[in-house]
Amino acid sequence: MSSRPAAGGGRWVEVAPARVDRWVDGFADRHGPPTATAQEYGLLLTAPDGATAALHTPPGAPPGADVPGFVAAARAPRRIGLLLARKGAVAVGVAEGEKLVVSKVDTRYVQGRTAAGGWSQQRFARRRDNQAKAALGDAAELAVRLLLPEAAHLAAVVCGGDRRAVEGVLADRRLAPLAELRADRLLDVPEPRLAVLVDAIAAARAVRILVRG
């Protein structure tokens, strides 16, 4: 379980699906038995002392009208696509439940910034831009080859890394079916590698909870 401050007060907590029911029990012990209200994002728990916990349905899971229904939906195995992109690195995969069943990682060199000025700086900038565009093109081809054939069977596509890089990949018109499945969640991941892709499965399936009070 991870926790971080939330804008506007409170904190975000990420809980593995298998532990959500125990987390709710702990919330009830601390604040009193809560009432559950279905929301567009998931489920809102309101405790007698005024504390609230907003449980956000994980990508691809159906909504739950109460805590048992929400927990069952979050725990259920589902097929999700993963697209992680940063600069010249990309990782794509398909997870069936908690298992990675399809994966590919690719890295292409993209030159860093230079301190040189004038014409030399412009030349390096053009070269860097061309390298970045080529890297995005390669990433899109990878997504077309591995993810696009799975689109009809995916409950969601979860992306991670640099938002501009991800959007650059999904801008390819061929990937429109994947863009339609894209979850709002953007995973904060380091440079994509196979181990990072495997770890992203748990992050994509986690239940995000906004706790206030």
Number of domains in the chain: 2
Q: Is the domain of 24 the same as that of 107?
A: no
Q: What is the span of the domain harbouring residue 104?
A: 79-203
Q: Is the domain of 66 the same as that of 112?
A: no
Note down pLDDT in tens along the chain; length 213 residues. 778 889 889 999 999 999 999 999 999 999 999 999 999 999 999 999 999 999 999 999 999 999 999 999 999 999 999 999 987 789 999 999 999 999 999 875 444 554 444 445 555 445 555 555 556 778 899 999 999 999 999 999 999 999 999 999 999 999 999 999 999 999 999 999 999 999 999 999 999 999 998
For 10, how many CA atoms within 13 A lie in the half-sphere containing its CB? 15
Q: Is the domain of 38 the same as that of 14?
A: yes
Query: What b/e string do you get for 8-32 counting C-beta neighbours within 10 Å, with b at 16 or more?
Result: eebebbbbebeebbebbeebbeebe
Q: Is the domain of 186 the same as that of 127?
A: yes
Q: Is the domain of 161 the same as that of 127?
A: yes
Are residues 135 and 52 in contact, defined by beta-carbon separation less than 8 angstroms? no
